[in-house]
């Protein structure tokens, strides 16, 4: 069974009307990952302890604490997989914001919101990347077909970056935010270009999800479910094409529809 | 339309295969609520700007910053609904933890995790409250039937407390954590007893959801979806009955099944 390392077998009581049966069941692992940046503890995150290095890099870049993967001098994961130590040149203001803002997020995966709402100036996304509705529909279909952990536990979110050369990078986590940070981190490590890509996510599109796309210059974001009004506004203001309710041949285009045509 | 205050109408492009139609659609409002405790800004939370007072009280009590509603001297909401000012006697250690821990959570609604993982000693929940599987099934059914905002936007979570006298208190939010804090806050304001109640939530049961039940001495927690392994462990250690996949007449009892019988 793939990914079985992150599944734990337990004994449960299954109820069906008046019948109760003792059965084996699987649940997903959840752990607290602690990040030490330049020898200082900066954050703990509840997550699936998988792709921890990519997760850490993606998170710090989403928060603008690290602006380029080349600014990382050293990064290592502890043997138990619960601690990442990273040495890097940081943006001091954004690191301070991480401490001060303490914004609670609305979405699965938690986190301090991207610094877009703060002082950081992000130019309007004018990338001319184009994709057809047919390609979106077929990628959404594959996106769900490939989600092994989700099928087994019903308890994970997935994120996927569809790149210009039609290759895809994926990540799963119990949190929506984490899944995005992981997939972006993987691309950053491999120096894959996220500025001409589509971000597919399994969860709802609240403003923080859109902020992550803004931070990484991802021009298009697609979900099977709904955006919030602030998510739509954020996408609109920053030049992001936002698509929700992408199911079968249907989808709703909320903003900047110019990037979607046959 | 009930709750329409929290819905925003927008114009979108609806795609169905090759057909694109411009239509009106509704999205849910999402806003940043900032909490000032004893004249100091302590946190911002992305949420539906509704039940802000209950949300603030529930959150601070979930985090053990305030241990009793009687410790609140004054609480008021700003005219724009985006700022709560609260004067209260606080637990200084827990307030410090709020700053220091910065634990990202796995679940919708975000937040610094409950202080259970810290120094706080919570006794094992031995409450003898009992409920039948039939009652759980019928309450789950009503729980979803009554969720107006969810039906209209597909973008909210709901929490409900089913009390000993069979009355229910509900709350909705874009975040799972927020929905729980709101519903608990409402009960605290009205001095309703949460120690003999069942918490129904729409989202997945990660450890932080269970921690909230632990903090408020709620003996039973029920969800339509999956728990994580750490969620199950947390419930087990703290004496909470955890039920997942409650759908129709079926449900999985993960821990402390003694509270569930006809």
Residues across chain B = 262
Domain contains A187: yes
Q: Are residues A74 and A140 in the same domain?
A: no
Q: Are residues B146 and B241 in the same domain?
A: yes
* Cβ separation A104–B252 shorter than 8 A: no
What CATH number is attached to the domain comprising A84?
3.10.20.10
A 73-102 near B (Cβ less than 8 A): 98-99, 101-102
Domain contains A172: yes
Determine the distance from the C-alpha atom of residue B163 to the mean position of all C-alpha atoms in its chain, rounded to a whole number. Answer: 15
Domain contains A127: no
Q: Are residues B62 and B155 in the same domain?
A: no
Two tokens at B227?
A: 């728990």
Q: Are residues B36 and B99 in the same domain?
A: yes
Distance CA B167, CA A137 (A): 45
Distance CA B85, CA B73 (A): 11
SS3 A158: strand
Q: Are residues B105 and B171 in the same domain?
A: no
Closest among A9, A10, A83, A11 to A43, alpha carbons compared: A83
Please provide the average confidence, as pLDDT, over all residues in chain A: 88
Per-residue pLDDT of chain B in tens (262 residues, 90 and over written 9): 445 788 999 999 999 988 999 999 999 999 999 999 999 988 888 899 999 999 999 999 998 899 999 999 999 999 999 999 999 999 888 887 776 554 444 443 334 344 444 456 778 899 999 999 999 999 999 988 877 777 777 778 999 999 999 999 999 999 999 999 999 999 999 999 999 999 999 988 999 899 999 999 999 999 999 999 999 999 999 999 999 999 999 999 999 999 999 8
* Cβ separation B102–A42 shorter than 8 A: yes
**Nearest CB neighbour to A175, from listed B28, B106, B245:** B106
* pLDDT tens per residue, range A69-102: 999 999 999 999 999 999 999 988 888 777 655 4
pLDDT number for residue A118: 47
Distance CA A83, CA A70 (A): 21
A243-259: average pLDDT? 95
Has residue A135 got a pLDDT over 50? yes
A40-44: average pLDDT? 88
Cβ atoms within 10 A of the Cβ of A145, count? 9
Maximum separation of any 2 CA atoms in chain A, in Å: 61
Two tokens at A197?
A: 């890509």
Last-in-domain residue among B56, B77, B109: B109
How does residue A119 score in pLDDT terms, banded at 50, 70 and 90?
A: low
Interface size between A and B, measured as CB pairs under 8 A: 232
Maximum separation of any 2 CA atoms in chain B, in Å: 61
What CATH number is attached to the domain comprising A197?
3.40.140.10
Distance from CA of B69 to the nearest CA of A (A): 23
* Cβ separation A250–B107 shorter than 8 A: no
* pLDDT tens per residue, range A193-213: 999 999 999 988 999 899 999
Residues A77, A86 contacting (CB under 8 angstroms): no
Q: Are residues B145 and B206 in the same domain?
A: yes
Domain contains A70: yes
Domain contains A5: no
Distance CA A14, CA A256 (A): 48
Closest among A41, A137, A128 to A84, alpha carbons compared: A41
SS3 A147: coil
Domain contains B118: no
- At residue A252, φ and ψ (nearest 5 deg) are -110, 125
* Cβ partners under 8 Å of residue A36, min gap 6: A42, A83, A84, A85, A86
**Does A58 contact B at CB distance below 8 Å?**
no
pLDDT number for residue B111: 40
The structure's pTM equals 0.88
Has residue A138 got a pLDDT over 90? yes
- At residue A244, φ and ψ (nearest 5 deg) are -125, 175
pLDDT number for residue B99: 61
pLDDT number for residue A99: 61
Q: Are residues B102 and B169 in the same domain?
A: no
**Does A55 contact B at CB distance below 8 Å?**
no
Domain count for chain A, please give it.
2
Give the percent of chain A with pLDDT over 90: 70
Two tokens at A25?
A: 């069941």
Q: Are residues B94 and B168 in the same domain?
A: no
Domain contains A126: no
Two tokens at B235?
A: 């419930």
**Does B143 contact A at CB distance below 8 Å?**
no
* Cβ separation A175–B105 shorter than 8 A: yes
Q: Are residues B241 and B149 in the same domain?
A: yes
Domain contains A9: no
How does residue A43 score in pLDDT terms, banded at 50, 70 and 90?
A: confident
Asked if the interface predicted TM-score (ipTM) of this complex is over 0.90, the answer is no
For residue B163, what are the CA distances in angstroms to A206, B168, B169, B213, B235?
32, 6, 8, 14, 20
Has residue A14 got a pLDDT over 80? yes
Q: Are residues A55 and A160 in the same domain?
A: no
pLDDT number for residue A114: 47
Distance CA B31, CA B48 (A): 6
* Cβ partners under 8 Å of residue B156, min gap 6: B28, B48, B147, B149, B150, B172, B173, B174, B179
**Does A51 contact B at CB distance below 8 Å?**
no
| Structural domain containing residue B212 | 133-259
Q: Are residues B156 and B205 in the same domain?
A: yes
* Cβ separation A204–B102 shorter than 8 A: no
Q: Are residues A153 and A231 in the same domain?
A: yes
User: Strand B157-163 vs strand B168-173: parallel, antiparallel, or unpaired?
Assistant: antiparallel
């Amino acid at each position: 069974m793939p990914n079985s390392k992150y599944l734990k077998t337990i004994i449960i009581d299954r109820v069906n009307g008046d019948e109760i049966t003792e059965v084996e069941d699987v649940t997903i692992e959840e752990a607290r990952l602690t990040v030490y940046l330049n020898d200082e503890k900066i954050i703990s995150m509840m997550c699936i302890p998988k792709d921890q290095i990519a997760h850490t890099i993606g998170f710090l870049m989403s928060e603008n604490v690290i602006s380029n993967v080349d600014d990382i001098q050293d990064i290592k994961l502890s043997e138990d997989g619960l601690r990442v130590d990273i040495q890097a040149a940081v943006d001091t203001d954004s690191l301070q914001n991480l401490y001060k803002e303490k914004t609670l997020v609305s979405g699965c995966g938690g986190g301090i919101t991207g610094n877009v709402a703060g002082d950081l100036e992000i130019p309007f996304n004018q990338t001319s990347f184009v994709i057809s509705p047919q390609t979106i529909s077929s990628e959404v279909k594959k996106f769900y077909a490939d989600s092994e952990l989700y099928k087994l536990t019903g308890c994970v979110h997935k994120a996927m970056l569809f790149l210009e050369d039609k290759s895809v990078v994926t990540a799963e986590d119990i949190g929506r935010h984490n899944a995005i940070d992981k997939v972006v981190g993987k691309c950053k490590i491999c120096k894959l270009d996220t500025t001409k890509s589509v971000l597919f996510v399994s969860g709802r599109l609240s403003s923080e999800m859109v902020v992550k796309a803004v931070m990484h210059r991802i021009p298009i974001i697609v979900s099977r479910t709904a955006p919030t009004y602030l998510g739509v506004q954020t996408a609109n203001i920053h030049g992001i094409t936002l698509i929700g309710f992408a199911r079968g041949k249907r989808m709703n285009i909320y903003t900047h529809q110019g990037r979607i045509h046959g």
